[in-house]
């Protein structure tokens, strides 16, 4: 009984620590509105907030590496990353596990003989993915990774490709999930539940990335700058940030004093 109690306590501690890590990662995922995004979507989540912070980037990679190391002999033998942002997270995870990384590329980008997914719809456009023959075999266990899952179209295309090689799909994984777009549900319901047992693991739900993470520049800022305009723009941006920080009201001294009074009274009550 005591052994089980400690196991449950450790599990709760692990969940608590993981939840804290996820919240920290969410704080490094800025988003842009449609006027400053490469696609016409309400929120474009920018993973550069992770890659430009080495500690956070390392934390993300470690979460995935530790997750798959814990599977032991049932762990993946290949990491497959989607073109293009899956190429950012996939290689360091594969290197941490000391297993190969394979590329799922947009059609027309790979040499040799390739297997293609056929066309599919994403939240942005119509795409088609491919894997080079020889990259994966029927003996492999594959984790597929991307930066984000929305409609599930890209993930499903990769899953179908890996399945065509006869390999086992260990998991589909992503950094960010948009739950309201039902991507995971679509994977599990595809072809009468053909992939209903495929594990789908994501780190951060978009619900955790609030309006305070909007990174849109000041109104009127052009979307694209010529090289000779960059220095001038950076000067304007610095001035804007300086004005913004100095325009915030400073709390009156009495606020701090008023807050201190009850604390002193509480201390006295304890002493009494």
Which residue matches tokens 């890209």?
A: 154
- Check residue 261 and report its DSSP letter: H
* 51 pLDDT higher than 70: yes
Q: What confidence score (pLDDT) does residue 128 get?
A: 93
Average pLDDT, the chain: 85
Q: What confidence score (pLDDT) does residue 13 get?
A: 42
pLDDT mean over 172-183:
96
Q: What is the CA radius of gyration of the chain?
A: 24
Two tokens at 73? 């002999």
Strands 78-82 and 141-149: parallel
Q: Which of 17, 119, 229, 244 is catalytic?
A: 119
Sheet-wide strand order for 168-177: 114-116, 129-132, 101-106, 78-82, 141-149, 168-177, 200-205
State pLDDT tens for residues 109-158: 999 999 999 988 877 778 899 999 999 999 999 999 999 999 999 999 99
Q: How far apart are CA 19 and CA 232, in angstroms?
A: 42
pLDDT mean over 169-183:
96
Beta carbons within 10 angstroms of residue 158's beta carbon = 25
171 belongs to the catalytic site: no
Q: What confidence score (pLDDT) does residue 237 get?
A: 79
Q: Quick check: bond before 266 cis, omega within 30?
A: no
Q: Which of 21, 85, 123, 189 is catalytic?
A: 85
Q: What confidence score (pLDDT) does residue 54 get?
A: 98
What residues contact residue 59 under an 8 Å CB cut-off, 6+ apart? 21, 24, 25
67 belongs to the catalytic site: no
């Amino acid at each position: 009984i005591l052994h089980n109690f400690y196991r449950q306590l450790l599990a709760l501690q692990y969940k608590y620590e993981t939840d804290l890590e996820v919240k920290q990662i969410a704080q490094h995922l800025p988003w842009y509105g449609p006027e400053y995004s490469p696609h016409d979507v309400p929120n474009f989540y920018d993973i550069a907030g992770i890659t430009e912070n080495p500690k956070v980037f390392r934390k993300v990679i470690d979460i995935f590496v530790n997750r798959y190391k814990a599977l032991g002999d049932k762990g993946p033998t290949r990491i497959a990353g989607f073109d293009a942002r899956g190429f950012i997270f996939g290689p360091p995870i594969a290197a941490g596990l000391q297993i190969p990384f394979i590329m799922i590329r947009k059609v027309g980008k790979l040499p040799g003989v390739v297997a293609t997914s056929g066309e599919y719809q994403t939240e942005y456009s119509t795409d088609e993915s491919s894997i080079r023959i020889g990259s994966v075999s029927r003996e492999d266990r594959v984790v597929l990774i991307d930066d984000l899952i929305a409609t599930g179209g890209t993930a499903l295309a990769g899953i179908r490709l890996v399945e065509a090689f006869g390999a086992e799909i260990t998991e589909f994984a992503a950094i960010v999930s948009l739950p309201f777009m039902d991507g995971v549900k679509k994977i599990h319901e595809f072809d009468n539940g053909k992939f209903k047992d495929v594990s789908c693991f994501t780190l951060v739900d978009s619900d955790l990335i609030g309006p305070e993470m909007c990174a849109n520049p000041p109104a009127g800022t052009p979307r694209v700058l010529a090289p000779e305009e960059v220095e001038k723009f950076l000067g304007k941006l610095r001035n804007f940030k300086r004005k913004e920080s100095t325009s915030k009201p400073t709390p009156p001294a009495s606020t701090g004093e008023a807050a201190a009074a009850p604390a002193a009274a509480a201390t006295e009550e304890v002493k009494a």
